[in-house]
Amino acid sequence: MNVQRPYLFKPDKEISRTYDLDGTHELGLPGISCPRCGAWSTVGSEYPAIAAKDLPLALRRAAKKGGPISVDEWQSLRSAVGEALPADVQWEPGTQFGALLADVKGNLPDVAWLTPWTCLLQQRAYEELLARGFDLRGRTPKLKWIRGTPAKLMEVDVRPGVRLAGWRSHQPCEICGRLALTAPDTIVLDRKTYDPSIPVQRIVDLTTYIVVSPKMKEAIERMGLSGAAFPALQWE
C-alpha cells in the first residue's frame, strides 16, 4: 500500500495576527515536582471532547488541588484511575480536559488557533468535513467576544498517534516519566507509526505538533478554508 506522507498542521502566521484567543480548558491536571527534573507540566495534551464531569473522581479532585504535586501523589493518582480512560488518552501532568473557555478579539478565520496546538474550526466547516467522511470529534467552546463578530466554532479533539523517527532511543526520566525533547529544525516521523485513516493527530513525542493527512489537507484547500498552513515534514 502506497501511503502518502502527511503534513504539519499549523496557524497561518499572517492571518493569526488579525485576531486573539485567550483562555484555557475547564479542567487542568496539576503539574508534578520531580527531584531530578524539577517542577513541570506537559503542553499540548488536550482532550476537549471529554467533559470534566465525565472524568474519574480522582482526577477531578486532583485538579482542584492545584500543583505541582509530588511523584508519589502522581503515582497514587495513576493507580486510582487505572484504565478508566480510553486507551488513546495519554494523560500527563498538566493535561487539560473539557470545553475551552476563552475571550476573543477580532474576527476568526475558518481555522482558528488558541495556540499552535489548539485548533478550532468554524461550525459550518467542521460539519462539512464530517459530511465528507472525516472522522473528527470535538466540543463547542465557550467563547466571549470582546471585539469582533461572534461565530459558532468547534474545538477539534486531536489525539496522539504518530511518533518521531528514532523514538525508541528517547529515554524518559526514571523517576517521573518526563520525556524532555526539544523540537528539531526538521520534523522526521516514523513511517510505521502513521495511520493515514486518522485525519488529524498529535506527534506522541511532541504534543505541540499536529499532523494532518493529505486527504484532509486537500479537503481544507478545496473548501477554501482560511487560517491554516501545511509545512512539509519528512519520514523514514
pLDDT tens for residues 13-45? 999 999 999 999 999 999 999 999 999 999 999
Q: Does residue 189 fall inside a structural domain?
A: yes
Q: Does residue 112 fall inside a structural domain?
A: no
- Which residues contact residue 70 at a Cβ distance below 8 angstroms, ignoring those fewer than 6 apart? 32, 33
Res. 65: pLDDT tops 90: no
Q: Does residue 68 fall inside a structural domain?
A: no
User: How far apart (Å, rounded) are the C-alpha atoms in residues 82 and 76?
Assistant: 10
Q: Does residue 171 fall inside a structural domain?
A: yes
User: How far apart (Å, rounded) are the C-alpha atoms in residues 184 and 190?
Assistant: 14
Nearest alpha-carbon partner for 211 in 7, 44, 43, 10: 7
- Count other C-beta atoms under 10 Å from residue 203's C-beta: 25
Grid coordinates standing for 135? Answer: 472522522
Report how far Cα 83 is from the mean position of its chain's Cα atoms. Answer: 21
What confidence tier does 2 reach under pLDDT thresholds 50, 70, 90? confident
- Count other C-beta atoms under 10 Å from residue 123's C-beta: 14
Q: Does residue 213 fall inside a structural domain?
A: yes
Name the 3-class secondary structure at 223.
Answer: coil
User: How far apart (Å, rounded) are the C-alpha atoms in residues 193 and 134?
Assistant: 20
Total number of domains constituting the chain: 1
Res. 164: pLDDT tops 80: yes
pLDDT of residue 46: 97
Averaged pLDDT, 57-66? 91
Q: Does residue 218 fall inside a structural domain?
A: yes
Q: Does residue 170 fall inside a structural domain?
A: yes
In which domain, by residue range, is 230 found?
A: 7-13+158-235
- Which residues contact residue 137 at a Cβ distance below 8 angstroms, ignoring those fewer than 6 apart? 49, 156, 157
What confidence tier does 1 reach under pLDDT thresholds 50, 70, 90? low
pTM of the model: 0.94
Q: Does residue 196 fall inside a structural domain?
A: yes
Length of the chain, please?
236
Res. 70: pLDDT tops 90: yes
DSSP 29: -
User: How far apart (Å, rounded) are the C-alpha atoms in residues 162 and 118?
Assistant: 17
pLDDT of residue 122: 98
Which pLDDT tens digit goes with each residue over 114-141? 999 999 999 999 999 999 999 999 999 9
- Which residues contact residue 34 at a Cβ distance below 8 angstroms, ignoring those fewer than 6 apart? 40, 71, 173, 175, 176, 178
Which pLDDT tens digit goes with each residue over 93-112? 999 999 999 999 999 999 99
User: Taking a C-beta distance cutoff of 8 angstroms, is the pair 100, 58 a contact?
Assistant: no
User: How far apart (Å, rounded) are the C-alpha atoms in residues 67 and 206?
Assistant: 23
Nearest alpha-carbon partner for 170 in 182, 161, 158, 162: 182
